[in-house]
Structure 1
Amino acid sequence: MVDEKMETRNNAKLAIPELANIISVPMSLNAIVRLKVVNAIRQGSSNVPLSAFEILARVLPIGDPDNL
C-alpha cells in the first residue's frame, strides 16, 4: 500500500513537467505568430543570427499593441 502511494506520487511528479511542456510550447508558438516574430527576423534578409534584443527591436514597432 505504501509502495503504491510512493509510486503514484513519483508518477505525478514526473507528469507535472510534461504537462507544463504540453501547455507552454503551443502558447509560445502562438505568441510568436501573433507578434509576427518570423516577419521581423525575415526583414534582415541576411543569414546572420539575431540576438533576442535585435528581434525585440524589430517586433515592437510592428507588433499589435493589443497582443503585447
Structure 2
Amino acid sequence: MPAAIYFINGMVLLLTPFPNHKANKYKDNVKDYRSISRGFSIQPKMWREGLGIILTGFTSVALLMVIQV
C-alpha cells in the first residue's frame, strides 16, 4: 500500500507544471526588499498540511520496512 501511495505521488509530480527556472533570469536582481510584506502570501491550511506530514511519516517508515523483508 505505501508503495502505491509513493507511485501515485510520483505520477502527480511528473504531471504538475512547474515554473520555468530559466525565464527572466536576471530581470529580478534589483529589488527593494523593504517593501515586501513579512507574512504568508496565502494562509497555511494547518490541518491539511499536518495530516499530509503525518501520513508521509507513517508511509515512509512502512515502505522501508517492506523493503527490508
TM-score, reference length from structure 1: 0.35
User: Which structure has the bigger radius of gyration?
Assistant: 1
